[in-house]
Amino acid sequence: MSERKPHILVVDDEPNVLVTYRLILQQQGYTVSAAITSEEARNILQQDGVDLLLCDLSLEKQQSGFDVIQFGRNRSPGLHCVLLTGYASVEANERAEQENIPVLFKPIDIQQLLQVIADFLRKTDESRQAQHGH
Amino acid sequence: MASPQMRVRSEQQPAERERKAGLRLLNAERSEEIFPLLLEEIIALGHKAAFVARVDFETSSITPVASLNYSRGFLQKQRSTLFAMENPVIRILHTFHPEIVPGKARSGDGGLYVHPMVYRNRNACWEAERSNAGTCLAVANFHCKQRLNLPDQVCGTCDMRAYAAVVCVELKPNAKPAEVAQLGALVELANRYLSRIFKVEHYYNRMTDMETTIGQMRTVLESMADPVILTDAQHRVITQNKAAERFFKLPDEVSEGRVRAVELNNLLFSAALSSMAVAGVDSSRDMTLVDAIEGEEVLFEAVSAPSYGPDGRRTGMVTVMRDVTELRRADEELRQNYELLTAAEEVVRQDRDRLNLIIENVGDPIVVCDKDAKIVLLDPLAAELFGDEKAERTAIHMRNQAKLDAYIAAFTYSFSDRESAPLHLFNPGSEAEVEYDARSGKIYDERGMVAYTVSVLRDLSAVRRLEQLKMERRMLEMEKFAVAGRMAGTIAHEVNNPMEAIKNCIFLLQDSIHDDATPVYQILKTETERVARIVRQMLGLYRNTEQVGNVDINSVVEDTLMLFARQLDRSGVRVERELGDLPPVVGSADQIRQVLSNLVVNAKDSMAQGGKLRMRTRVAKNGIRDIITITIGDTGCGIPPNMLDTMFEPFVTTKGERGTGLGLWIVKGIIENHGGKLRVRSQVDHGTVFRIELPLVQ
C-alpha cells in the first residue's frame, strides 16, 4: 500500500456545503479537492490523482453532475464516482442505475457517507494492488 | 147351449115358436153362439138349408162361418170378396136390405133368401148419447149411409169396429110371403141380440186393454226414481209412486218423528199445489221435504201440470218432483266460485291499474316484449323512442327499434334471468346518441318457457355527466396534491442544502465541544436530525409522484414485507399473510409501497414487546363495484380514541421525536389519489387494523 493519502474531489454548487464536506473529509485524513462549478471540477479532473469523485447532481446554471462524472470517467476509466442529490427524479435515478453510479440522497448521514467512501477506496486499493501484482 | 135335446122339434103355433126362438137367442152369452142358434131356428121353420158368411174387413173377404144342411163343397164355393159384385149375394150385402134370389124354374125350388146382418141399431148407443158426439155407427148403418168397407165400419165415438155377415136361406118350396116375413123378423131379432153382445164384448175388450195400459203406466210410474203424485181437484192424493210414498205415506212402522215428517211434507205439498194450481199451466216450485225413512232434508223442484178429463174439465194435477239437492249445491258452489272469480278479477284489474300507474310514473322508458322479441307494450316514454302505431314512424324510430330488437332477442335466448346492458339509442328530437342502461327481466309461463321480457331503459346521460364531474374533481384534487407535493419538494430541496451544511458543521464540531456546552450541542444535533427526517420525507413524497400503471398489489405487499423482514424479526413480530387472487390495480407501485411501508413500520413500532402482523388482500364488493381491500392488522398498543380524529392530519405523531407526523397524512393522500379509501379500527392495548380499499377499474 502506497503512503499517498487518497484524493477525493467534492463538487457542489453550495459553498457552505462544499466547505463542510471538505473539512469532514480532511478530518478523516483524505486529500480533498473542492470544486464549486463543473468547470473547476473538470480542471481538477484534468490533472491525475483523483481517486474518488463525489458530485452533486444539480450544479450551477443547469449543469448536471452526470456530465462531470462522464468527463471524469472518460479521463480515467477506473474512477469511482458517487452522485449526491437532494432532488432525485425517477429519470435521474434510472440514469444513475444505468450508468452504474451509486446515489446518496441528501440529507446524507455522514457515517453512511464515510462508510461508502471507505469501501470504494478499499476496492480501488485492491484493484491497484492486483495491477501491481501483474 | 145348442144341445141336441134343444133341437127336438114339435109342431107349435107360429107366435109361440117366435117367442121361444127369441128366448133361445136371448140366452146366447157370446156373439159366436148367435149364428148356430139362428140357423137351427131357420131350419125349424121348415126351410131346406141355411148358412151364414162373415165379412173379414182386414182382407175384404167373405167366408161361411156356420151352416146347416149344406155340403162342404157347396160352402167352399160360397167364399168370395166384397168386390165380387157379380155375385148376387155380395150385391145384396152392400144394399143392407134382404132380398130373394129366384131359384131355377124347376118345381119345388123356393129361391135363395139373402139377409145382410150389419152392426146397426135404430138408437145411438149410450156412450154416443152421453158424449153428445152425435155419430154412432149403429145408427148410421141403420140409415144405410155407410159403405161396407173397413174405414167406414169403425165408430167415430167408441172406436168400435163393426161386424158384417150375410144369412142365406134356401126357402122351402112355395113359401108364402108371411113365412118369408117371419124369417126376416127372426134374422133381425138375431141381429139385434148380436149387436148388443158385440157391444158388450167391445167394452170388455176395451176394459181389458185399459187395464193392461194402466198396469204398464203403473210400472213406468214405479220405475221412476223421482216422486210422481197424481192428485184430484181437491189436492187429495189419488196415486203416487214408491219414491213419493217415501215422503207422503205413513210407513208401516210408525214413529212420532216420521209421522210428523210425513204430515209436514203433505202440508207443504198441498200448499205448494194450491199456489201452483193458481199459477196455471205448467209451474214449478222448490220445496224442502224430509225423508221419512232417512230423516234427511231433501230439496225438490216440483213440476206440476193439470190433468184434464175427456170433457176438458180439470180433474187434478200431476206433480213430478226432482231431487235437486246436489244440483242446488253444485249451483251454489258455482255461484260462490263465480263470486270468487269476480273478486279475483277485480283484484287483478286493480293490480293492473296500479301497475299501469307505476309504469306511467317510472320516468324511464319501459318495453314489454313477447317470446318472439316482439313489442307488446310500450309506455309513453318508450313510444317516443320507438314510435307507435298512432304516430308516423321516423327513420330514427326504425333504427332504435332495430337496436332494441337485437338486444331483446339476445336476452330472450340467453340463459340469464336478468340482465343489465348498455344500449345506445338515438334521441328522436335531437338525433344525438344517448346511452341507456337496459335492465331486463324475464317472465315465465307455467311450462317454464319465456313468455315475456320486461326492459326498463335508464338514460345514463345524467349519470355519465356526474361521473365526468366526479372524475374532473378527482383530477383536480390529484393536481392540487401534486402541486402541494411539488411545493413541498421544492421547499425541502431549498432547505436541504443549508441543512446539509448545518449537519456537517455539527459533525465537525463534535470533538471540540466544552463539557458545559455538551447538552446544548446535543439538542442542536437531535433537532437538526429531526429537520433532516422531515425534509427527507417531503422529498420522498415528491420524488415518486410519477409512473402510473398496472400494479400487482400482492407483489408490492411481498416486497414491503421482505424489506422489513429483518426489522420485524428483531422486534419479535410474527408475520401472517393471506393474499387473495387479485387483478391488477391502476396506480403507482412506488406510492403504494410507500403506503404499505409506512403502515408496516407503524405496526412494528406499536408492538414494542413483539406481536403479530396480519396482512390480507382480497377482492370484495362495495355495492355493485368490485374493489380490492388490503388490511394491515397489528396486536400493538392501539391508538388512543382522542387521536382517531386527528391522526391523518399533518404533523400529528405518537412517536415523539422519532416521528415526523407526516406518515399517515401522506398515506391518506396517496390512497385518496388512487380513488380509494382508508379506514382504521383500533382498540387501545389490543391493536389496530388499517383497511385500504382501492377501486378496480376495467
pLDDT higher than 60, residue B3: no
pLDDT higher than 90, residue B53: yes
Which grid cell is B39? 140357423
Q: Which of A16, A23, A87 sits opposite B493 (nearest CB)?
A: A87
CA-nearest residue to A89 within chain B is B543
pLDDT of residue B8: 47
Residues of chain B in contact with residue A89, where contact means CB-CB under 8 angstroms, are 543, 546
pLDDT of residue B541: 53
Which grid cell is B332? 251454489
pLDDT in tens, B438-491: 888 988 888 888 888 888 888 888 877 887 787 777 667 666 666 676 677 777
Mark yes or no for CB contact B498/A27 under 8 Å. no
Mark yes or no for CB contact B492/A86 under 8 Å. yes
Least confident of B58-72, B340-354, B425-439: B425-439
ipTM of the complex as predicted: 0.81
List residues bridging with B453 in a β-sheet: B369, B442
The residue-averaged pLDDT of B633-656 equals 78
The residue-averaged pLDDT of B558-574 equals 84
CB neighbour burial string for B102-117, b if at least 16 within 10 angstroms, e if fewer: eeeeeeebbbbbbbbb
B411 closest CA partner among B457, B378, B460: B457
- Count the Cβ atoms, other than its own, within 10 Å of residue B497: 19
B267 closest CA partner among B239, B288, B298, B297: B288
pLDDT of residue B339: 93
Size of interface A-B (CB pairs under 8 A): 60
Going by the DSSP 8-state scheme, the letter that residue A64 receives in this structure is B
DSSP string, B602-662: HHHHH-TT-EEEEEEEEEEEETTEEEEEEEEEE-SS---HHHHTTTTSTT--SSGGG--S-
Q: Omega before A107 cis (within 30°)?
A: yes
pLDDT higher than 90, residue B393: no
Most B CBs within 10 A among A12, A13, A20, hence the mutation to make, goes to: A20
Least confident of B80-94, B220-234, B266-280, B644-658: B644-658
**Cβ–Cβ < 8 Å for A99, A79:** no
The residue-averaged pLDDT of B193-208 equals 90
Which grid cell is B314? 180439470
CA-nearest residue to B499 within chain A is A107
Contact status of A106 with chain B (Cβ, < 8 Å): yes
Mark yes or no for CB contact A24/B504 under 8 Å. yes
Sheet-wide strand order for B450-459: B375-378, B366-370, B450-459, B433-444, B418-426
Most B CBs within 10 A among A84, A106, A108, A110, hence the mutation to make, goes to: A106
Mark yes or no for CB contact B492/A107 under 8 Å. no
Which amino acid does the sequence have at B611? Answer: G
* pLDDT above 70 coverage of chain B, percent: 89
CA-nearest residue to A13 within chain B is B497
The residue-averaged pLDDT of B247-264 equals 79
pLDDT in tens, A17-67: 888 889 888 888 888 888 888 888 888 888 878 888 888 887 877 778 888
pLDDT of residue A96: 80
**Cβ–Cβ < 8 Å for B451, B370:** yes
* pLDDT above 90 coverage of chain B, percent: 9
Strand-pair category, B549-551 with B164-170: unpaired
Mark yes or no for CB contact A17/B532 under 8 Å. no
What band does B5 get if pLDDT is binned at 50, 70 and 90?
very low
Least confident of B344-358, B397-411, B649-663: B649-663
**Start-to-end CA span in chain A (Å):** 15
Collapsed DSSP state (helix, strand, coil) of residue B167: strand
pLDDT of residue B335: 92
Contact status of A105 with chain B (Cβ, < 8 Å): yes
CA-nearest residue to B544 within chain A is A90
Cα of B664 to nearest chain A Cα, Å: 22
A residues 16..35 contacting B (CB < 8 A): 16-17, 19-21, 23-24, 27
Q: What is the 3-state secondary structure (H, E, C) of A88-120?
A: CCHHHHHHHHHCCCCEEECCCCHHHHHHHHHHH
Cα of A23 to nearest chain B Cα, Å: 7
pLDDT higher than 60, residue B544: no
Please name the residues in contact with A31: beta carbons below 8 A apart, sequence gap of 6 or more.
A5, A6, A7, A8
Residues of chain A in contact with residue B489, where contact means CB-CB under 8 angstroms, are 87
The residue-averaged pLDDT of B637-651 equals 79
The residue-averaged pLDDT of B636-657 equals 75
